[in-house]
Chains A and B, each alone.
Chain A
């Protein structure tokens, strides 16, 4: 079943893919920036400040998605006894962390003209900050622990504890009185966002997803070369 996760086969694909992903990312990002900054309309209430949504929301979505994926991969690594799941998870984490920081900082910039404050201890913002701390713990754990078995265990525990926070982030706007508005985009019911704003939002989300794929591939290749370096030492 996991023949695909063999080093030689996978490297043949991952070493060639970044250049195509990079070209696609630049094209999609250019379209996204034009749509987000020029063609999309201003909001009747928030005016042009609504344009911050086109970087803030996709960054938050992708950081949540990546953390969920890291948790699934870490657990799968344990269940199927396959170390490449951990390697994929480790390679995904840097872009997830950066997206989380982007979501926090752009949210803070958006907060000033909208709420009149750079930072408030709102449930959504606080839970996103906690997610950033989990990302940080995960990345630091890979750096500081030498023992391979131990680091796999520790990082999996971090992701299991961190994933509890993901539904809290999602439903914080429904469970508590927060400054954030409830979700405007729903997969199961009608979205309340106009298509003229939904389109650039989806384009920017696609661009951000391509960027995280690009960073993942570069990081994954680096990790594979690290393994090969160790292999050369043993020759």
Chain B
């Protein structure tokens, strides 16, 4: 049964390679985008850490900065 599925009347190599290429492209794009996001977030943390207390308070007063600093982010 598995052999029939993989063979697909002789078209298995074409079908499975098309699906594999698609899923591989998706995974690559996801990982690249995630890496870019992490890099920018890391940059944000290091810049934020370098601020003195007065400036840090000022930066923290903005919602977006607060959200970036929170650990609730998924990606």
Partner of B14 from the list A49, A94, A219, A225 (CB cut-off 8 Å) is: A49
Known: A8-B63, A225-B68, A229-B47. A47 touches B9 (CB 8 A): yes
**With contact pairs A229-B40, A235-B51 given, residues A218 and B14 touching in the complex (Cβ less than 8 Å):** no
A149 interface residue per 8 A CB criterion:
no
Residues on B with beta carbons closer than 8 Å to the beta carbon of A37: 5, 15, 19
Q: Given contacts A19-B74, A47-B11, is CB(A226)–CB(B19) below 8 Å?
A: no
Task: Tell whether, in the assembled complex, residue B37 and residue A221 are in contact, meaning their CB atoms are under 8 Å apart.
Answer: yes
Interface string of B22-54 (1 = CB under 8 A from A): 100110011001101100110110011001000
Residues of B within 8 A of A232 (CB): 44, 47-48, 51, 59
CB contacts (< 8 Å) of A11 on chain B: these are 63-64, 67-68
Instruction: Report if A102-B14 is in contact (Cβ < 8 Å); known contacts: A215-B30, A232-B47.
Output: no
CB-nearest residue of chain A relative to B50? A232
Main secondary structure of the interface of A (DSSP, over half): helix
Q: Which residues of A contact B75 (CB under 8 A)?
A: 18-19, 218, 221
Instruction: Find out whether the CB atom of B33 lies under 8 angstroms from the CB atom of A55.
Output: no
Shortest C-beta distance, A127 to chain B (Å), equals: 21
Cα-based distance from A81 to B37 in the complex (angstroms): 27
Q: In chain A, residues 108-133, which have Cβ atoms closer than 8 Å to a Cβ of chain B? A: 109-110, 112-113
Give Cα distance in the complex from A99 to B64, angstroms.
31
Q: B22 and A102: CB pair below 8 A?
A: yes
Which residues of A from 69 to 105 have beta carbons under 8 Å from B? 94-95, 98, 101-102, 105
Instruction: Give the distance in Å from the alpha carbon of A137 to the alpha carbon of B18 in the complex.
Output: 26
For chain A, the count of residues having a C-beta within 8 Å of the partner chain is 50
Interface centre among B5, B8, B9, B26 (most CB of A within 10 A): B26
**A126–B50 CA distance with the chains assembled, in angstroms:** 52
A38–B16 Cα distance when bound, in Å, is 12
A228 to B44, CA, bound (A): 8
Cα distance, A118 to B64, chains bound together (Å): 49
Q: Complex Cα distance A112/B11, Å?
A: 10
A109/B17 in contact, CB under 8 A? yes
- B44, A225: Cβ atoms closer than 8 Å: yes
- CB-nearest residue of chain B to A113: B14
In the complex, chain A residues whose CB is within 8 Å of the CB of B59? 231-232, 235
Interchain CA distance A211-B22 in the complex, whole Å: 12
A-B contact pairs, 9 of them (CB 8 A): A11-B68, A47-B10, A47-B11, A48-B12, A225-B41, A228-B64, A229-B44, A229-B47, A235-B59
9 further A-B contacts with Cβ under 8 Å, apart from A211-B26, A232-B51, are A42-B9, A47-B11, A55-B22, A105-B18, A109-B17, A215-B30, A224-B64, A229-B44, A235-B58
